[in-house]
Structure 1
């Protein structure tokens, strides 16, 4: 028995062109169904507090970030929330002295900035999605506000507990 006979039928039963049309129509129907059911899904947001650290930055960058600023991710332009706290400390480096000791020293004109942002996110099994991306402690991002952008590291993420199954 041939795979396609002289009449163009697959296994002598169905025309191959008709079969391809049926497969395409079924695929389109499945895609439309998925799109319609996913777009009607209600997404519940939860409050999230994100703490970011920018290291060894200059004073103008420190001054450009203010409490009350809207905070965004530079890459996705996703909105995080509002800056609610900012702590500035001198940047520190460990240097070796002439006699071989290692000492802690301030880096002149450089600062570490800790920024706390309160916003909302979507809880998912893999964590919290804020501004369209998954966030975890240790992630890096370029924080963007109205007056500045600065490379930061996530050092704190307070999120709600996973919903309990009843």
Structure 2
């Protein structure tokens, strides 16, 4: 009796291709469940060299639609603590120290062809606000930047701010050690 017959079967019963497929499936299962992977611990995120301290984050928010922008800015200036979500992962809480409204300008063409910036006269502007938020919280300083709740936060990172009254996103424009 041959080990492999003319049809590619092992001992006339099992196909070699089927055995190869079963071996690949077993290797994948072993790779997923038995071989340990990265756990995302703080030591891995920070490179093992970090120091805990207060971190100040500046965030720019563009076009936040609200019923009254003045009330929203006043509410955010009341030292509000917000939940922060970074890359769809909860990243702890930050304290909003200040909210500074940015004026809405439009380009206005002059009769001589020049262009100047003028405050937007439209009434709808009261329902949309651009602002810069300054927030502080606990974080770590590393050789690679700042880490807040196991999430690297750098200029350009999008943060989602959430509390019972609002949920909106902004982009980090500065991260420093808090003074």
Report TM bin, short chain.
0.5 to 0.7
Contact 1:90–1:106 (8 Å) recurs in 2: no
Is 1:64 matched up with 2:75? yes
Residues 37 and 7 from structure 1, CA distance in 2 versus in 1: closer, same or farther, beyond 3 angstroms? closer
Length-normalised TM-score, structure 1? 0.59
Q: Which runs of 5+ in 1 are unaligned?
A: 160-166
Q: 1:1-166 to 2 correspondence within 5 Å? A: 5-9=6-10, 15-34=16-35, 36-39=36-39, 42-44=41-43, 48-55=55-62, 57=64, 58-65=69-76, 66-73=78-85, 76=88, 78-96=90-108, 99-100=111-112, 102-107=115-120, 109=126, 111-117=129-135, 118-120=137-139, 135-158=153-176
How far off its partner does 1:121 sit? 6.8
Match of 1:137, SS?
coil
Q: Which runs of 5+ in 2 are unaligned?
A: none
Aligned-residue RMSD, C-alpha: 4.2
How far off its partner does 1:86 sit? 1.1
Post-superposition CA distance 1:111-153 (Å, at most 9, x none): 543222324379697x666578664423445432332233422
Q: Which range is displaced more, 69-78 or 80-89?
A: 69-78
Alignment partners' CA distance in 2, 1:28 and 1:77: 27
